[in-house]
Structure 1
Amino acid sequence: MSSPTELVSQTQARPSKVSLPTSRLIGLGLIILLAIAAIGGPELVGKDPAKQSLLHTLELPSAAYPLGTDNLGRDMTARLLSGAQLSLSLALLSVLTAGLPGTLLGIAAAWFGGWTDRLLGAFADAVLALPGLLLVLMLAAISPGSWWALYAGISLTLWVEYFRYTRQRARIVLAEPAVEASKLLGLGPWLLVRRHLIPEIGPGLLTIAAFGAATAVNSVAALGFVSVGVRPPTAEWGVMMTELLPYWREAPFLILQPVVCLVVTMLALHLSVGGIRRP
C-alpha cells in the first residue's frame, strides 16, 4: 500500500509533452489575429469609423477604402475593426466576470457541502429558471443602447455553467485518496486547490470559457441586428448588418463583410477548444 507521500507524488507527475491537434492550432491562430486586429487595427487605419462622407457612399474597395464604404460613406475597414474591438472586449469581460465567481462558488460548494452546497445549488437553479435571452432583453430595456446592459445580462447567465461544472468535478477530486493524503500531510487549502483542483478542472474551464465567449459575441450581434442591443452609430457587426440590409442588391459585398467577421470569430472560438493529445 502506497504511503501518503507517494500518493501525492504520483498525482503531481505530469507528462512533459503535450500535442495540440491541427484544428486547435488553427483556432488559436485565428483568435490571435483577431485580437491583434481588434487592439491595433482601428489606430493603424487612422480613420474615424463614425465619420460620414455622402459623396463616397457604397463605394467599391479601393486604395483609399480597402473594403469600400457603407450607405453613409463611412469606411468599412475602420467600422469592422471597431466592431471587432467592441465584440471581443465584451466577450472577454463577460467571460472573466462570469468565470471567476462561478468557479470560486463551485469550489466552495464542493468543499463545504451541506447547507452551503444546497443554497448555492438552489440559487444557480433559480438563475437557470429564467431564460438567459429574456434576462438580457430585460436589462437592455432598462438601459436601451447601453453596452453595460449587454455585459451584465450575458455575465449573469454564463456564471452558472462554471459553477455547475466546477462543483461536479471538485466533488470527485476532493474525494480521491491523493487529496486525503495531502490533507494528512498538512497541506493548506490553497496548495490543495493549486496542486489537485486546478490541473483537473482547468481544461474544462477553458472549454466553457471559449464557448461562453462565442455565446457573448453571437448575442451582441443578434441583439444589435434586431435593434435591441447597441444602436447606431456605434460600429458593431449586428448593427452594421441591419444598416446594410436594404442595400444588399446594390452592394452585396458590403453586408457579407460583417457576416464573414462574425462567422470567422465563432469558428475560431469553437476550433480553439479542440482536444489535447498526450503521447
Structure 2
Amino acid sequence: MNVDLALTRRQRIGAALLVAIALFCAAGPALVGDPRVLDLMNFLSAPGLEHWLGTDHLGRSMVARLAHAGQLSLGLAALSVLSAAIPGVLLGIVAAWRGGWLERACVVLADSVLALPGLLLVLLLATLAPGAFWPLYLGLALAFWVEYFRVVRASARSILASPAVEASRLLGFGTFYLVRSHVWPELRPVLLTLASFGMAAAVLAMAALGFVGVGIKPPRPELGVMMIELLPYYQEAPWLIAAPVLLLTLTLLGLVLIRPQEAVA
C-alpha cells in the first residue's frame, strides 16, 4: 500500500505560512525584547522604526507581545495534540487488532469522554486553577484523544481486513511488519488531517477562552487576552486590535491549508 505524501501547492503555501509564523514567534522576543516592559509616555503609538507594530495602551511593544502570544498558542496546540495523538493512535490500532473485550473497553472509555463536550471539559478544569496553563492543556488533550482513537480504530479495522494484509498474514509476516508496512502508511494522511484540525481547534479555543476571561490571564500575552484588552481602543488605534486578529487568522489559515487534499473534498 503506497500513499502519496508529496505536498500539493496548497499544502506548501500552508507549510510556508506556518514556518514564517513559527520563526516570528521564536525570533521575535530576541529581536524586540520583553513584552512586559511598560512605557507610559509612549502608549498607543503608531507603527514605526522603534516599534514595528506600535505600542498598546500601556506602552508595551506589540511585536514582542504578539511573538510571546504566538509561542503560547502554538506551544499549547502542539503539546495538546501530541499528548492526544500518542494514546489515541496506540489504543486505536490495538483495539482494531485485538478486538474483543479490549476493544469494547476502549470504546466505552471513549464514549464516556465524548459525552462531555470538550469546551465544557476545559471550562470545568479552568475553574480549578484560573489563569493557569495546565487546565487548557489537559482539557484539550482529553478531548482530542477520543477523535484520534475513533478515527484510527475505524481506519485500522478497514486496513486490517484488506486482501493485502490477509495475504501478508498467510505468508507468515508478524504484527510489527503488518503495522509498519500496511497500517501506518495508510494512517499518515489521516493523522496529518487530525493534527491540523486539532491544532486549529486548540489555537481557536485558547483565544476564545482568553477573550471571555476564563483562559490565560493578563498581563501574560495571549491572543484572546490581547483582543479584549485592545477592543476599547479600536477607533483610536485600529491597527492594535488588527494585529492579534491577523495573527490568529493566518495561523488558522496555515493549519487548514496544510491538510491533505482528500480531506478537503
Q: Distance in 1 between matches of 2:121 and 2:189?
A: 29
- The counterpart of 2:69, out of the listed 83, 96, 101, is 83
Q: Which residue number corresponds to residue 237 of structure 1?
A: 223
Pairwise CA distance, 1:188 = 2.2
Q: Which residue number corresponds to residue 207 of structure 1?
A: 193
- The counterpart of 1:143, out of the listed 117, 126, 129, is 129
- 8 A Cα contact 1:102 1:159, kept in partner: yes
Q: Distance in 1 between matches of 2:202 and 2:105?
A: 27
Q: How does 1:184-203 map to 2 (within 5 A)?
A: 184-203=170-189
The one-letter code of the counterpart of 1:28 is: A
The one-letter code of the counterpart of 2:122 is: V
Q: How does 1:238-277 map to 2 (within 5 A)?
A: 238-275=224-261
Structure 1: runs of 5 or more not aligned: 1-10
Pairwise CA distance, 1:18 = 5.9
Q: CA offsets per residue over residues 14-43 of structure 1, 9 Å max, x none?
A: 47x765332221111101111111222211
Pairwise CA distance, 1:124 = 0.7
The list of structure 1 runs, each at least 4 consecutive aligned residues, that deviate by more than 6 angstroms after superposition, is none
Q: Distance in 2 between matches of 1:107 and 1:274?
A: 21
Q: How does 1:104-123 map to 2 (within 5 A)?
A: 104-123=90-109
Question: SS at 2:217's partner residue?
Answer: coil
Q: Which residue number corresponds to residue 27 of structure 1?
A: 14
- 8 A Cα contact 2:189 2:260, kept in partner: no
Pairwise CA distance, 1:82 = 0.6
- 8 A Cα contact 1:20 1:275, kept in partner: no
Q: Distance in 2 between matches of 1:56 and 1:29?
A: 35
Q: CA offsets per residue over residues 74-120 of structure 1, 9 Å max, x none?
A: 00000001111110000000110001110101011101111111111
Structure 2: runs of 5 or more not aligned: none
Q: Which residue number corresponds to residue 30 of structure 2?
A: 43
The one-letter code of the counterpart of 2:251 is: T
Q: Normalising by the residue count of structure 1, what TM-score does the alignment of the two structures yield?
A: 0.91
The one-letter code of the counterpart of 1:27 is: G
- 8 A Cα contact 1:94 1:152, kept in partner: yes
Q: Normalising by the residue count of structure 2, what TM-score does the alignment of the two structures yield?
A: 0.95
Question: SS at 1:86's partner residue?
Answer: helix
Pairwise CA distance, 1:178 = 1.8
Q: How does 1:38-77 map to 2 (within 5 A)?
A: 38-45=25-32, 47-77=33-63
- 8 A Cα contact 1:23 1:274, kept in partner: no
Aligned pair count?
Answer: 262
Pairwise CA distance, 1:65 = 0.5
- 8 A Cα contact 2:5 2:189, kept in partner: no
- 8 A Cα contact 2:192 2:260, kept in partner: no
The one-letter code of the counterpart of 2:10 is: S
